[in-house]
Amino acid sequence: MADYDDEGEGLSGKVAEISSAVAGHAKLILLAVLLLGLVGYYFFLYPKPVSARVSVREIDAFPIEGAEVVFEDDSGNTLGAAQLTDPSGTAFFSNLPPRSVRLRARAGMAYGEYYDTADLSGSGDKIIAVLLEKKNDIRIAFHNIPTALSEGCSDNFVLAVANGGEDPFETEIAIEGNALFAGAFSAPDGKKTVFPKESENFTIRAAVPKVEGDSNTATGKMRVKRTTKEISFGIPVDSLVRPSLSPSEVRFQKGGNPVFLMSLENTGKQPLSNIAISVSPETNLKAYCGEDGSQCFKLERLAGGEVRSLAPQSKLDFGLRITQPTEIPPGDYLAQLVVRATCLNSPGLSAPIYLDLKNPQ
């Protein structure tokens, strides 16, 4: 009986030893897993400090040296020391928290202060651009802005800039517009000095390009450069003046019919006014037909008299008589029948006139 007890106790002891060893290994494995997890968290998940480069410039102008830049938390506490921008207008920072913070920049009494949110989240160096506005008391307003324009028309209007401050202000205008009418509104060239308590007018030229469809609106903003002072505009533009010329080309052959019936039609919704019809010969034809082509081309008004306007959906018929110039060398020549009117002054509506003056075979 004693032998069985001794064997039982021995077996129990071995089981206990094995259990203890297994428990020890399990603790080591668990500890290793925890350590690996901590290492992985630190290298892959733990937020790392970031560096930042802050570039400070005057709006539409140059870098500002010596501007003070500082990052702050939501409570207004500074995050590290304030830095001054170098000659390139750049301040450098390190060990910043990778989250949204506040950024403050100032450059003396001449500029307004910049204060806004800066997003530093994520990894890698951050590049932040800051634009400072020079202090001013500039006010802007439109005068005589067109209420509407038609395709091909041009008009001028005025942007008035007033200086309510104590110092002269070098003023230049920038224009931003919708892509459809990019370049339709041209800012004036050069600058004007607006003296204290005075104002200056800038003439803005509107030249409406081709319109897709019956109506659109040219929208955008005009801003005084080096400031945030801007004013929005919107000018309806349409294609309501729609002239057409037929036939679209004239072909005259030596010995052929010298008279051609032409038609100018207004298919639009607005009158076509200040109509002027002329013939413009090419350079090699002017020596025989004259600068204005009057020695070879004559317009015959079938409607009688000089017609200066054409109502919507109406037509003007006229004749073009061609007289072959004498002593002109045989060959091919070219002229243009040109129609000009309000909104058609540049370059106007035209039809080519082909002259085949070669001798018959």
Where does 17-153 show beta strands of DSSP type E? 50-58, 68-72, 83-84, 90-96, 100-106, 114-119, 126-132, 138-143, 149-150
Residues 250 and 343 in one domain: yes
Residues 281 and 226 in one domain: no
The answer to whether residues 104 and 78 touch, using CB atoms and an 8 Å cutoff, is no
Residue 151 CB burial class (10 angstroms; 0-12, 13-18, ≥19): buried
Q: Does the residue 255 lie in any domain?
A: yes
Q: What domain range includes position 184?
A: 138-238
Last residue of a domain, one of 132, 155, 185: 132
> Which one-letter amino acid corresponds to residue 264?
L
Give Cα 251 to chain centroid, integer Å: 44
Residues 260 and 342 in one domain: yes
Express as a percent the part of the chain with pLDDT over 90.
48
Residues 297 and 348 in one domain: yes
Q: Does the residue 329 lie in any domain?
A: yes
Which tokens is 88 given? Answer: 């390139």
pLDDT in tens, 253-307: 988 889 999 999 988 777 888 888 999 999 999 999 999 999 999 998 755 556 7
Residues 94 and 199 in one domain: no
pLDDT in tens, 66-99: 999 999 999 999 999 999 999 999 999 999 999 9
Q: Does the residue 21 lie in any domain?
A: no
Q: Does the residue 16 lie in any domain?
A: no
Last residue of a domain, one of 238, 271, 297: 238
CATH number at residue 89: 2.60.40.1120
Q: Are strands 192-194 and 169-171 parallel, antiparallel or unpaired?
A: antiparallel
Residues 127 and 142 in one domain: no
pLDDT in tens, 95-119: 999 999 999 999 999 999 999 999 9
The domain tally of the chain equals: 3
CA angle 7, 12, 15 (to 5 degrees): 130
Last residue of a domain, one of 238, 271, 294: 238
Q: In the sheet where 297-301 sits, what is the strand order?
A: 243-246, 259-266, 314-322, 297-301
- CA 1 vs CA 4, 5, 13, 50: distances in Å: 5, 6, 19, 76
Residues 264 and 193 in one domain: no
